[in-house]
Structure 1
């Protein structure tokens, strides 16, 4: 171990959504938490994201929901349309009965805004944040995790959380696998909403479903910005090219779509595109005193809009699993981490695997053509507003494998 080793209760590797959430959750439990990030500054790239009630409940637990609502938007409806005909297929009202059923609002927010809310929450809670740290490996020595860095300064902790994303450096400790290409890419863009912006749909999340493509639009930042995401099957990405020199593929993918969709393509930033990957689910995320979280553990395609949501659920579940075991009324019991990590893994692995697999199936159903498209549209149109049979397992407060994420759950865990 380096003579310059830095010691802490909890070390978090990665300063994205999952890392910040995990750091905040365990700091709230009373741990001394150090978070290291390889970038010289904290920040988040991308555009908008959707925070379903299973995630906004977690923000409420940490006292951060109001801050998210101050800068985000609560859309009135989630609406699906056929991209070729413009026909409405189904809609879900997102206030009223929906919010009452799931105990929290549906919020859309810019990725950078949610990242800032979590970062400020960590700063206020006293998490030690360190930039310019590249972790090369982690090992368990005795009952502690040791992170070896490029600079030669080791960090040691009772537990190490690997939250370093899709291409995690630490995932090889638990799985010999690689990211899986979906053959689909995304272009994103946010533009100011002006007097010239069509007034239609500016209070809703709109999803247009087309053959081998879809397009999503919704407002951000209290209705000041319009977020647009176009996702389509890319021949060049199928050939292994993550980036592409022109927009001909983009234009070709949407050539048969209604004018509203084609007009929305003008909102996209076409200088960079986002190749879409996930990984196959794995059952074990724990190696000694290292545990994965977020995309490092369960990267998923975005069709259920659950990537960030599941990262927040991870943090809340680890917070619950360690209350009453590691963090007790008598103080911290670091020897109990093995039990807490196993409980966390048991609670989360099955839940996130279902989300990963369902996202793949959901994406396939969005992009069908021919007879499959006709049947898909009939199925969607048969669903009535406030039919919750497809939502309860994902958003519900006591769904399969989902911690209830309430103070009651914390109290029960502490008493166990």
Structure 2
């Protein structure tokens, strides 16, 4: 029985090869090997071939210093093993394969999926602008909502048609919907707010009511009527009178929007001063604070690998964009978006939720927008490990918010 030396890569290792750049990642312990070497790249290419079973039989003449060091690192990081007397008829090794049961490619050509509720299971989160009226004069109005879901107003005052909205939501079974966000304008000015609450209470989902801090008045709002309230605070326009709105209450979350380091420090001070429990800090790009983003938002290799990535994490980033996937935004005029920076997918008066989901999966540019399709990320071995692109990248008109763009 013929025996020879063999390099065996463990099945819990994820491999990326782009040209001569390679990355081997241990999804159990987070260890990885990255490099750029033509000979090693050729070996990895053979390992990635269908029939290899991630086993490379090492010819004696191929063992140079570079390969020997590579093998040593593979063993040290438990990415694989090296067997000097490997039996070519040994046990079969299975390597990981991405398997998406409901991939859009499988749906195409099957009309029963398109017309039924099969794709409705993909909708997880719904954001609804119930009006666009607000008397505040915030400097950041109609800017932040294109980077994060945020309040907004328009000159023509419109309140969403509650009956049409209810019909749109109720006529399709939504088994995976777990969150609805209510936005304005000033949501407290919506004339059918109580009726809306009653309608939504029949759904088994969490309802979050978002309000700008200057529109939030504890004396006029019964907190017991709202399970979740999110208060938006633009630190650049912070006033001392806002302190009345800071309360350590379980059902209130605070979102602080900042544009520079001074505002970041102020947000931290407010969080500490008021002992806030539920909060998020969101950096907003204003076309003047690129350097702030480079210092506080851009990521480097250490940031990317500070946690261990599972195969599920990696395959998800290789398939869909979790910043958008499963989410829809409804404007007060009935238009429906999967990304407010793109054209409306449809509207609540003419389309069903299933139709809009199918349209996004088939022709959309949000749910399935992955780094592998975006320049220059498509040429980077870290593309499946980085956070997916978001509206921040669109605001900066730059996909690579990372150390590589600063080299």
TM-score (norm 1): 0.24
TM-score (norm 2): 0.24
- Name the structure with the higher strand share: 1
- Name the structure with the higher helix share: 1
| Structure with bigger gyration radius | 2
Structure with the bigger RCO (C-alpha within 8 Å, sep 6+) is 1
